[in-house]
Chain A
Amino acid sequence: MTDYEKALLNGDYGQAKQLAMRVLCDLGDHYGVDRFVEIVACHDDSTVYLGEAQVEFAEHLVSMGARFAVPTSTNACAIDMARFDIQKHDVALMTATRRIEAAHLALGAMASWTCAPYQAGFAPAFGQQVAFAESNVIAYVNSILGARTNRYAGPLELLAGIAGRVPYFGLHVTENRKACGLIVIGDDITADMFEHDSFYTLMAYAYGDIVGDQIWAMDGLPPSISVDNLKNMSATMASSGGIALFHLVGITPEAQSLAMAFQGGKPEEVVTLTCKDIRKAENQLNSLDDGEEIDLIALGCPHFSGAEFSKLENTLNGRRVHENCMLWIFTSRSTYGMIKDSGQLHRLSSLGVEIFVDGCPLQHPVEKWKTNTFMSNSGKFCTYCFGLTGRHPGLGTIAECAESAVHGKVKRERRPWWN
């Protein structure tokens, strides 16, 4: 440890930094390291209200005079802070969320309130050391941007941000970032499947299921894959598995070739992904059949991007959302500002689309809305939907979700992997 780090631990820079260093030293002990690495940014995921403990803890940090030592972005919270009443969320949840907001802003966090910070101006550069929480953000910044973070969880990331450093272990270290296994695409997976956005989500679900908590590489994806598909893959893999880093050969900065992904070594294991895996993933994520009535279509898990809004508007093509169902979109304040300026917000709202900021589509008051059927384009949403709402969801593409919204009924095309 440096003299400065010893002084932090000794309490010379205040109680908050001392508490942070005590916890981080314990963490380092577990992984057998006594060195720290400075971070350049923190993503704060202690923002969705999951109970009183997190609010108390954040307020405790404020009372100790804590401040973030590095730029810190806030993740999505539970609700749209200004329009929680339209979502029929309890006043108590709004109050708790406002306490979280006050405490985290007092710590010096920026009011980004998004689970896609990398699409809202908070994207670390290649090779940079960061302490990020929120499973999709962790997977995305490691795998797509090539920044370095472990799977930090709330409220540990707050302490990393306050100390401005983390123990030098895990994915902060180059050697630990190499792939150990390889997934190759089976012969029964044909080129037309790559045209289907759901394919990437299902492939990602299968990947997390196969790989568990390890680092693997996957070969055979088209380099033309959209940024939003990469976002949805990151979120889905990090839901079905404990994935912090995946290597998509030719896409991931550290895996432009197979040799790079394995840092010159060879895969210890090779698994072929086939249509059977894709079908199995679809059975896990989709429980609705074509033609079933739908109550709520929830998009934006992670938060919707400008490109996704355009795709949605093109499919709706001026048609209104059916009176028997709701189409809710969740996005960041940053993207919201952009679509407001462009007129898109007004156009979509006039078609009956509800657009919310800050909040999370998984936090839905089912009893108040009497929602029975959910549909989403998100593998993450569909993974957690039953656990959080008690309802099994349907999975479709953005275009299918838009068609379903117009008809008030599930509209899903037959997938080529069922042929």
Chain B
Amino acid sequence: MVELSCQYVIAPRKPMRMELLFSNDPISFFGGVNATNGKVEDHRHGNYCQSMTNKAFAFPFGKGSSGAGLVLMEMMRLNTAPAAIINIRTDPVILTGPLLCKHYYEQVLPIINMHETEYAGLAGITEVEIFTEGNVLHAFP
């Protein structure tokens, strides 16, 4: 197990351990993710055809269409959403879905930010454990 420092933008309600889906490629949820099955559908993305459902989905930052908010909300509704999102930076486009879900569906989709060097430490990691407070997460190879 490796301890990596991080910032909880939206912390989970209880500690969670889950599989990690990691990439160094930014993503557009609109046109890049299929909301009905939770799979990456952008052929240029490193996680092409892989599912993010119930996993911690790590990508450096969001790109592309601002439809991402609506796609993430729909994924929350259909239970295809990732269990957590890990970014180097989270822009309002990515933050929209989780913020709305918190206030509208009263569901929490944790968002975690990591410094670039710490983020690189997620490469080769298969599972992560995240906490309700503090500034670390646990990474399991």
> Which A positions have Cβ atoms within 8 angstroms of B?
19, 22-23, 26-27, 30, 45-46, 48, 50-54, 57, 60, 133-135, 138, 150-156, 170, 208, 212-213, 238-242, 244, 284, 362, 383-384, 386-388
CA distance A50 to B65 in the complex (A): 12
CA distance A134 to B64 in the complex (A): 9
Give every chain B residue within 8 A of A19 (Cβ-Cβ): 103-104
Q: 22 A-B Cβ contacts within 8 A?
A: A22-B103, A23-B99, A27-B95, A30-B95, A46-B69, A50-B35, A54-B73, A57-B73, A57-B100, A57-B104, A138-B66, A152-B96, A153-B70, A154-B69, A156-B92, A156-B100, A213-B61, A213-B89, A242-B26, A242-B93, A384-B30, A384-B65
A30 touches B28 (CB 8 A): no
Give every chain A residue within 8 A of B60 (Cβ-Cβ): 212
CB-CB contacts of B74-115 with A at 8 A, as 1s and 0s?
101110000000000111111111011011100000000000
CB closest residue in chain A, given B33: A387
Tell me how far the C-beta of A280 lies from the nearest C-beta in chain B, rounded to whole angstroms: 12
Tell me how far the C-beta of A334 lies from the nearest C-beta in chain B, rounded to whole angstroms: 22
A153 touches B63 (CB 8 A): no
A30 touches B74 (CB 8 A): no
Contact of B70 among A50, A60, A387, A388 (CB under 8 A): A50
For residue B42, CB closer than 8 A to chain A, the reply is: yes
A151 touches B91 (CB 8 A): yes
> Which B positions have Cβ atoms within 8 angstroms of A?
9, 26, 28, 30-32, 35, 41-44, 60-71, 73-74, 76-78, 89-97, 99-100, 102-104
Residue among A50, A150, A170, A241 having the largest count of chain B Cβ atoms under 10 Å: A50
Contact of A135 among B42, B66, B74, B90 (CB under 8 A): B66
CA distance A284 to B44 in the complex (A): 9
CA distance A212 to B92 in the complex (A): 15
B93 touches A151 (CB 8 A): yes
CA distance A50 to B77 in the complex (A): 12
CA distance A77 to B103 in the complex (A): 26
Residue among A26, A53, A386 having the largest count of chain B Cβ atoms under 10 Å: A53
Q: How many A-B residue pairs have CB under 8 A?
A: 140
Give every chain B residue within 8 A of A284 (Cβ-Cβ): 44
CA distance A309 to B61 in the complex (A): 37
A239 touches B67 (CB 8 A): no
A239 touches B74 (CB 8 A): no
Contact of A50 among B26, B30, B62 (CB under 8 A): B30
A152 touches B92 (CB 8 A): yes
Give every chain A residue within 8 A of B103 (Cβ-Cβ): 19, 22-23, 26
Residue among A54, A150, A170 having the largest count of chain B Cβ atoms under 10 Å: A54
Give every chain A residue within 8 A of B44 (Cβ-Cβ): 284
Give every chain B residue within 8 A of A362 (Cβ-Cβ): 31
B42 touches A387 (CB 8 A): yes
A242 touches B61 (CB 8 A): yes
Contact of B62 among A134, A138, A170, A213 (CB under 8 A): A213
Tell me how far the C-beta of A157 lies from the nearest C-beta in chain B, rounded to whole angstroms: 8
Tell me how far the C-beta of B6 lies from the nearest C-beta in chain A, rounded to whole angstroms: 14
Contact of A154 among B41, B43, B67 (CB under 8 A): B67
A50 touches B74 (CB 8 A): yes
Contact of B69 among A156, A212, A384 (CB under 8 A): A156
B71 touches A242 (CB 8 A): no
CA distance A51 to B68 in the complex (A): 12
Residue among B26, B60, B89, B100 having the largest count of chain A Cβ atoms under 10 Å: B100
Give every chain B residue within 8 A of A45 (Cβ-Cβ): 66-67
Give every chain B residue within 8 A of A213 (Cβ-Cβ): 26, 61-63, 89, 91
CB closest residue in chain A, given B89: A213
CB closest residue in chain B, given A24: B99
Answer whether A154 and B96 are a contact pair too, CB < 8 Å, given A53-B77, A60-B104.
yes
CB closest residue in chain A, given B69: A153
B93 touches A239 (CB 8 A): no
B99 touches A239 (CB 8 A): no
B99 touches A26 (CB 8 A): yes
Answer whether A50 and B71 are a contact pair too, CB < 8 Å, given A212-B61, A362-B31.
yes
CB closest residue in chain A, given B101: A53
A153 touches B68 (CB 8 A): yes
B64 touches A54 (CB 8 A): no
Give every chain A residue within 8 A of B63 (Cβ-Cβ): 208, 212-213, 239-242
CB closest residue in chain B, given A22: B103
A134 touches B77 (CB 8 A): no
Contact of A238 among B35, B64, B104 (CB under 8 A): B64
CB closest residue in chain A, given B102: A26
Tell me how far the C-beta of A285 lies from the nearest C-beta in chain B, rounded to whole angstroms: 11
A51 touches B64 (CB 8 A): no
CB closest residue in chain B, given A243: B63
A52 touches B77 (CB 8 A): yes
B92 touches A151 (CB 8 A): yes
Give every chain B residue within 8 A of A53 (Cβ-Cβ): 70, 73-74, 76-77
CA distance A212 to B97 in the complex (A): 21
CA distance A240 to B45 in the complex (A): 11
CB closest residue in chain A, given B36: A51
8 closest A-B pairs (Cβ-Cβ)?
A51-B74, A153-B69, A384-B31, A242-B63, A153-B66, A153-B93, A53-B73, A153-B96
